[in-house]
Amino acid sequence: MNPVRPNFFAGTYIDRRTEVREEADWLERALADPHCQFLLARGTRQLVHAAPQPHVAFVSGRHPAVAAAEPEHFVLLGWFRERRCVLLSLAPEWPDADLPEGSAFEELRPLSPQLDAEEAGLLAYARALALWRVRRRYCGVCGGPTVPARAGHSLICADPACAEEYFPRIDPAIIVLVTDGERALLGRQSSWPTGRYSTIAGFVEPGESLEDAVRREVMEETGIHVLGCRYDSSQPWPFPASLMLGFQAVGAAGAVQVGRELEDARWFSRAEVRSGAITLPPAHSISRRLIEAWLGAPL
C-alpha cells in the first residue's frame, strides 16, 4: 500500500515523546539542554523571520525572555528535527527590543503558504496549545484558576477540593466534495475573495456520526441529498481549534437550494473547474486536495 500523503499542518514533523511530559524535572532538563530550541509566542502570534523566506525564529535558553519567564508559561512540544523544542508564551508587554534581529510576531494563517511544511505543522501545533491554555485559565466546574501539569499538556483546577483536570480539545468538522459523477458541488461565502468557490463544510454536532454530519451539512447548505460518502483524509486547522475530516461523496443530481450560510452554490463540470473560471481554495488546504483528487491531477 502506498503511504498517504499528509495534508499541510499534518505529518510526522515532530517526535512528541509523550512520556517526557510525566517527568517532574522536564523544564529543568530543557533549560539545561544547550541544543533546546524555544518557540516564542505572544497570544496567537508566533516569532518568525519573515525574509527572505519565512521561517521560525527559534531562540536558545540564554535568551532574556526564556531566563525571565515563569515555569507555567512553558510547554514541551517534543523533539523537532532531533532537538528538544519548547513553546514559551510571552506577556503582551514583553519588549520587542529583545527579539532577534529581523524577527517579528506574525499570525500563522496568512503566512502558512510560504512556510516549510514541517515548520508550518509545528506552528499549528503550538498555536492550538497556546490558544487552548488561554481559554482554559479557569475551571469550568468551580470557577477557580487552573495550573499547568504534564509539561503544559493538561490544566488542573488549583482548588484541591475540586482538582478537575482538563486536556486540549479540538472541534471536529467535516469537509466534503460532493459530485454526481461529472460535476462537483461547490459553494461560496460572501466574505471570501470574489469568484472563490470551495467544498461544503460544517461542524459535527453532539450525538452525530461523521457520515450523518456530511449528509446534514450538504442538505442544509445546498438542498442536495448525499447518496453515499467515504473518508479521504484529515487536516489540523487551528483557526481556532478545528480538525477537518475530509470526505468524497456522491450526491443526487438536482437543483441546488442555497442555505443561509452560503452566498451561492452550484454544480461545476471538470472543464469549468480546470479552466480557471472560478478561484479554488489555496493549494495547502484539504478542500483543494479533495477537488484535485476528483479531477485526477493537481492544478
- In sequence order, the 6+-apart residues with CB closer than 8 A to the CB of 101 are none
Question: Quick check: 236 and 128 in contact, CB under 8 A?
Answer: yes
pLDDT, position 53: 87
How would you class 20 by CB atoms within 10 Å of its CB: exposed for 0-12, middle for 13-18, buried for 19 or more?
middle
pLDDT, position 281: 95
CATH assignment of 14-135?
3.90.79
- Of 293, 28, 283, 54, the closest CA to residue 184 belongs to 293
pLDDT, position 1: 34
DSSP state of 290: H
- Choices 3.40.50.2000, 3.40.50.300, 3.90.79.10, 3.30.70.2660: CATH for 171-295: 3.90.79.10
Domain boundaries, the chain: 14-135, 141-169, 171-295
**Which residues lie across from 249 on neighbouring strands?**
178, 229
Which segments of the chain have a pLDDT < 70? 1-4, 97
Q: What is the pLDDT of residues 83-119, one digit of tens each?
A: 999 999 998 777 776 788 889 999 999 999 999 999 9
pLDDT, position 97: 67
pLDDT, position 101: 86
- Please tell me whether the overall predicted TM-score, pTM, comes out greater than 0.85 for this model: yes
By three-state DSSP, how is residue 211 classified?
helix
Which cell numbers hold the place of 89?
Answer: 508564551
Question: Quick check: 94 and 42 in contact, CB under 8 A?
Answer: yes
Q: Do domains 14-135 and 171-295 have the same CATH topology?
A: yes
